[in-house]
Chain A
Amino acid sequence: MTAVENTLNVIASDEAAEIAAARRNRLVAIATPVATAATLIFLWEAGVRVFGVPDYIAPTPSAVASTLVEEFPQLMRNFWPTLYESLMGFAVGNLAAVLIAVAFVHSRLAERAFFPIAVFINTIPILAIAPILVLIFGAGLTAKVVIAALICFFPTLVNMVRGLQAVSPQALELARILSASKSEVFWKIRLPSSLPFLFSALKIAATTSVIGAIVGEWVGADLGLGALIIDATFNFRSALLYATVFLSSGLSVLLFAAVTIAERLVVRW
C-alpha cells in the first residue's frame, strides 16, 4: 500500500469515526431523558408499593396504565369535546388577537384606547373569570370556547404587534422608494416579517387553549376531560384521574406539535 493510500484510508476511517460519534451523541441525547423518566416512574411504582400508599391517594403507574387501556372508550368520549373546544378557542382567540394587532399597528389611537383594557383583562385570573363567562354564555360549548379564546388572546396580541413593528427601517425606505402603498407594505413586508413572532405566540396558545377548555369544563360540563377530572376526583377514582390528566397533557403536546410542524413549513427563513 502506498503512502497516499495510507493517508486516504486514515482520512476515511476518521470520517467513519466522526459519523459514528455523531450517531452516538444523538443516541445519548434521546436515551438520557427516556432513561431518567423510566427511572422516576419505577421509583414511583416502588414507593407506592413499599410504603403501602392507599390507591385513592396515589395510584401506581401500572394502575394508571391499565386504566388508560380499560377506560379508553370513556376517555376518548371525553377527549373529543375538549379537543373541539380547544381548537375553536385557539382559532377564535388568535384570529381576534391578530386582527386587533393589525388595527393597533395602523392606528395609534386604537392602541392607546384599547391596549390598557387588554392588559386589564389579561390580569384577571382565568379561574376567576370562568364562572362569569359561564353565567353569560350558559353551560354549553360557547362558554368553553370563549374561555379558551380569552387565554390565547393576550400573548398573541403582544407578539403580533411586536412582529408587525419589527420591520427594519431600511425595508420601509425601500418600500418608500418603490412608492409602495400602505396595503402593499402590509401584505408584502409587515405581515410576512411578523410570522416568526406569530408562531412563537401560537406555540404558547396551543397549550394554553387546552387549559382554557378544561377550566371551562370545571365550571359546568357533562362531558370533556375537565368534567372527567372533577368526576374522578369526587369519586376517589384516582387512577382514572391520573389517566385523564395524562390525556390532557397529550392533547396539549398534540396541538403544540401541529403548530411546530406548521411553523417549519411556513417559516423557512
Chain B
Amino acid sequence: MDAVSLNAAAGTQVPAASLRNAWVKFGQFTAIQDISLEIEAGAFYSILGPSGCGKSTLLRLVSDLIPPAAGEVSVFGKTTEAARLAREFAFVFQDATLLPWRSALKNVELPLEIGRSRGIDIPVSDKSPMELLELVGLKGREHALPHELSGGMRQRVAIARALVCKPKLLLMDEPFGALDEMTRDHLNLQLLKVWEETGVTILFVTHSIPEAVFLGQKVLMLKAHPGRLHEIVDIDLPYPRSIAQRDTPEFTRYSAHLRGLLEAC
C-alpha cells in the first residue's frame, strides 16, 4: 500500500480532531462562531480564508493554547489538554521560534528534554534528531546556530523539531509565509514528502491559494467577522504532486473556485 492510501485508510478510525459547536471569544470579540468539524486522521488539510477569519485561532483552539468559550474540542478522542500532555500534536509557527543559543540539532532535541526530568513518558520518533534533520534536507548543518541559517533552513529545523516526538497531528500556522517563492515551492515538496513518510495528519494554515491547492487533500475555507466555516473543498489531484501540476487545467479550476469563494466572503 502506498503512503497516500495508507494515510487515507487511517481516516476510517478516530478523527484527528473534532470540533462540536465550538466558539472562541476574546472579550466581546467573537473570533470563532459555532464551528463543527471533523478532521480525518492521516489527511492533509489546508486552511484558507481572509484575514480575521480565525485561521490561527482554530489551530490555537485545537492545540489547547486557547480554550473554547462554548462547545467541545477533542483531539484523537481525548481532551485537548490530555492530547497536549501526551504530545499527540506539534505546532509549527509562522516564525521558526528556534532558541538562538542552541544549534539546529539541539533545537530539534528540545522537546525530548522537556518533561524528561519529571518522568513524563514522551513519545519518540523512530528517526533520531539527526535523521529528522536529514529528512528535511539539513544534513551537514546540524551544528549551525539559527543565525547562521537562512529563513527557509530555520523553518525546516522547526519542522524537524515538531516531528521529534512522533506527533499524530501537525498544526502549521503559515510556516512558509515569510519565504520567497522558490524556497516555498521547495519546502512544500519536502513537506509532502514528510507527510507521506510519516503518515501524520496536517492542518496547514496559509494565505496563498496555490499553496493551499498544491498541498491539501481538502481545503477548509473560513469566513471572516466572525470566523465561521464556509466550505470544505476536496482537491482530487493525485499524489505525489509536482510543481508542474500547477499549470494543469484542474489545478487552475480549483484555484479559480477557491478565489471565487474567497471573494464572496
Contact = CB atoms under 8 A, between A and B. Distances in A.
A192 B65 contact: no
B95 interface: yes
Contacts of A181: 115, 118
Interface string A164-175: 000010110111
B113 A188 contact: yes
A124 interface: no
A200 B87 CA distance: 38
B116 to A, nearest CB: 9
Most buried by A among B63, B84, B97: B97
B101 A192 contact: yes
Nearest to B100: A269
A3 to B, nearest CB: 35
B101 A179 contact: no
B90 interface: yes
Contacts of B94: 170
B85 interface: yes
A269 B114 contact: no
Contacts of B84: 176-177, 179
Interface string B52-89: 00000000000111000000000000000000110101
Given A173-B91, A173-B93, A188-B110, A179 B99 contact: no
A269 B145 contact: yes
Contact of B99 (A177, A192, A267): A192
A173 B120 CA distance: 19
Contacts of B65: 173, 176-177
A268 B100 CA distance: 9
Most buried by B among A176, A181, A269: A269
A186 B225 CA distance: 38
Contacts, number: 62
B146 to A, nearest CB: 7
B113 A174 contact: no
Contacts of A268: 101, 145
A178 B115 contact: yes
Interface string B135-178: 00000000001110000000000000000000000000000000
A189 interface: yes
B111 interface: yes
A177 B63 contact: yes
Given A268-B101, A268-B145, A170 B114 contact: no
Contacts of A179: 84-85, 87, 114-115, 120
A110 B36 CA distance: 45
Contact of A180 (B95, B101, B115, B145): B115
A177 B91 contact: yes
B87 A178 contact: yes
A170 B95 contact: yes
Interface string B181-193: 0000000000000
Contacts of A70: none
Contacts of B117: 184
A195 B99 CA distance: 13
Nearest to B158: A174
Contact of B97 (A174, A192, A195): A174
A177 B101 contact: no
Given A177-B65, A177-B90, A177-B91, A171 B115 contact: no
Given A173-B65, A179-B84, 14 more contacts: A173-B91, A174-B93, A174-B97, A177-B84, A178-B87, A178-B111, A179-B87, A180-B114, A188-B99, A188-B110, A188-B114, A192-B101, A268-B145, A269-B145
Task: Return the 5 tightest CB-CB contacts between A and B, nearest first.
Answer: A269-B100, A170-B97, A178-B114, A180-B114, A269-B101
